[in-house]
Amino acid sequence: MSEPTFTKSSAEDIRSLYAAVFEKQWPSWLAGILIALLAILIFLWNVPWGIAGGYRNWGDWMLYAMQLRGARPEQVPWLQSLSVTNFGLFAGALASALLSRQFRFRGAPLFEYGKGAIGGILMGTGAVLASGCNVGGFYTAVGIFSIGGYTMMVGLGVGAYIGLRYLLWEMEHLPQQSGGTTPAKTATGTDWFRKKQYLGGGILLLGVIAFYLYAAYGQAQIGGLLFFGLLIGVVMHRSRFCFVRAFREPFMTGDAGMVRAVAISLILYGVGSAVIKWSWMQPPEMGVFHPFWIGSLLGGLIFGIGMLLAGGCASSTLWRVGEGHAKLMITLVTFALSNSTVNQWMAHSGIKEMLGSGFFLPQLISWQATLPVFLAIITAWVLWAAWNEKSEKFVIF
Amino acid sequence: METETIQSDETLDLRGLSCPMPLLKTKKALKGLKPGQILEVWGSDPGSKNDIPDFCKKGGNDLLDLLDAPEGYTRYFIKKG
């Protein structure tokens, strides 16, 4: 055997690292841990993580551009914090899809586009009522001890159940539109594969350069969000991390894997945010505005139905768009437009006051009681899902 | 078993559909088959590459093979258990 040179050995190691990162799918529990860490960093760096607020900003601008909105939106998309995180998440997922050779423009049957559009409208509406999507209204809300997060969780579960019931009904009663309508394009020239990979690497590099540019112009905080979003995008795409699954799968296949992953993530994030809040690194009541209980419950319900129709929530819509799914591109647009429209309308209608207001759990029952209650609820969710995985008591199909 | 020689009893074309429709339709089609019959599924959603094998393992069905077609979709051969 010949003596391995340093370059040879390094090239081999880099190749196997590349294969581990961009060829095999990451386990969802690992992604859960990484997402919690990134969410904690975002909280420390700026404000608690959310997604729908960024969509709203995009929707505001779309409506403004179509002259359906009088006032110019206050913030430009490249300086609005949640919008910038979303850009990062999308770019990260796109880069990851290119690097793992999974990017392709993916058309869908016409009927699916319709479902994507309606799903987006429902999610946009639900996210206004609940003051957040599956990330800001559920994940972050539970993690930062806003009680509305738990009611949205219940709403999402019920909504997912109703949405799945609809999908089953649709399979039985509506003419099947699937199949053959959009044959995948024949791959042209094998060289394209290589180019895609370099393009993916280039996007990641551009993300880092953009962060330095933001910093150079005194906007390091916003630039950092782009960077964190980029990492979340890579993690979510490589693991196919999907909040929809956590709510749908217990009723659909019984699989509890994503429930476990989201629960691990939530527990880590909750502990992290307790450290941040209890120690006053950030103000304890920061981000606690989720309307308890009507807004978050109703919003979760509507959002839950929408995410089943679309096949993606706020976060997984973004990374699926990065992978090239045309259906989810439509969802993204209708989500943004409906969120912006409903939000404007709600602001004038006075309904917002009737939906409830934000309650901070530690303020109601003390920090000492909050942590065990939080852990108990999440643990109960996992135990229920694990039991259901074996018994299939709640599987409806 | 060599994939070329697998005779499927039913073929389901799910190209263009994305999560969760491929899994739902696969599950539904399997319900209509007798044990031992073979379902061939054509899917283009990258998520199916993990979903369908996991589902088969869990549901007691046998994924005989999984084949990437050059046109960019995947053929799954599932024997109902």
Q: Which residues of A touch B44 (CB under 8 A)?
A: 106, 184
Q: What is the pLDDT of residue A187?
A: 46
Average pLDDT (A291-314) is 96
Of the candidates B1, B19, B24, B69, the residue annotated as catalytic is B19
Q: B60 at the A interface (CB within 8 A)? A: no
What confidence tier does A351 reach under pLDDT thresholds 50, 70, 90? confident
Q: Which among A108, A187, A311 has CB closest to B70?
A: A187
Say yes or no to pLDDT of A142 above 90.
yes
**Cis peptide, bond prior to residue A293, ω within 30 of zero:** yes
What confidence tier does A182 reach under pLDDT thresholds 50, 70, 90? very low
The CA distance from A260 to A262, in Å, is 6
| Pairing between β-strand B10-14 and β-strand B74-79 as defined by DSSP bridges | unpaired
Q: Which among A25, A184, A253 has CB closest to B50?
A: A25
> Which has the closest alpha carbon to A117: A306, A255, A245, A293?
A306
Percent of chain A with pLDDT over 90: 85
Q: Are residues A187 and B15, on separate chains, in Cβ contact within 8 Å? A: no
Say yes or no to pLDDT of A122 above 80.
yes
The CA distance from A248 to A159, in Å, is 9
Q: Which among A10-24, A374-388, B2-16 has the top mean pLDDT?
A: A374-388
DSSP per-residue letters across A24-72 = SPPPHHHHHHHHHHHHHHHHHHSS---SHHHHHHHHHHHHHHTT--SSP
Average pLDDT (B18-40) is 92
Known catalytic residue at B19: yes
pLDDT, tens only, A206-255: 999 999 999 999 999 999 999 999 999 999 999 999 999 999 999 999 99
Which structure tokens are listed for A106?
């993916």
Say yes or no to pLDDT of A192 above 90.
no
Q: Is the distance from CB of A255 to CB of A117 less than 8 angstroms?
A: no
The CA distance from A48 to A216, in Å, is 24
CB neighbour burial string for A272-309, b if at least 16 within 10 angstroms, e if fewer: bbbebbeeeebebbbbbbbbbbbbbbbbbbbbbbbbbb
Q: A93 at the B interface (CB within 8 A)? A: no
Q: What is the pLDDT of residue A174?
A: 84
Q: Which among A129-143, A281-295, A336-350 has the top mean pLDDT?
A: A129-143
The CA distance from A330 to A125, in Å, is 16
Q: Where are the domains of chain A?
A: 27-68+76-182+191-391
B76's enclosing H/E stretch is strand B74-79
B37's enclosing H/E stretch is none
Q: What is the pLDDT of residue A178?
A: 53
DSSP per-residue letters across A235-299 = HHHHHT--HHHHHHHHHHT---HHHHHHHHHHHHHHHHHHHHHHTTSS-TTTT----BTHHHHHH
Three-class SS state of B38: strand
**How close does chain B come to A395, measured CA to CA in Å?**
12
* A70 residue type, one letter: G
3-state helix, strand, coil in chain A (%, to 5): 75, 0, 25
Percent of chain A with pLDDT over 70: 95
Q: What is the pLDDT of residue B69?
A: 87
> Which has the closest alpha carbon to A134: A107, A157, A106?
A157
What confidence tier does A349 reach under pLDDT thresholds 50, 70, 90? confident
Between residues A397 and A134, the one the model is more confident about: A134
State chain A's mean pLDDT as an integer.
Answer: 93
Q: Are residues B70 and A252, on separate chains, in Cβ contact within 8 Å? A: no
Chains A, B: CB pairs < 8 Å: 90
**Model's pTM, two decimal places?**
0.93
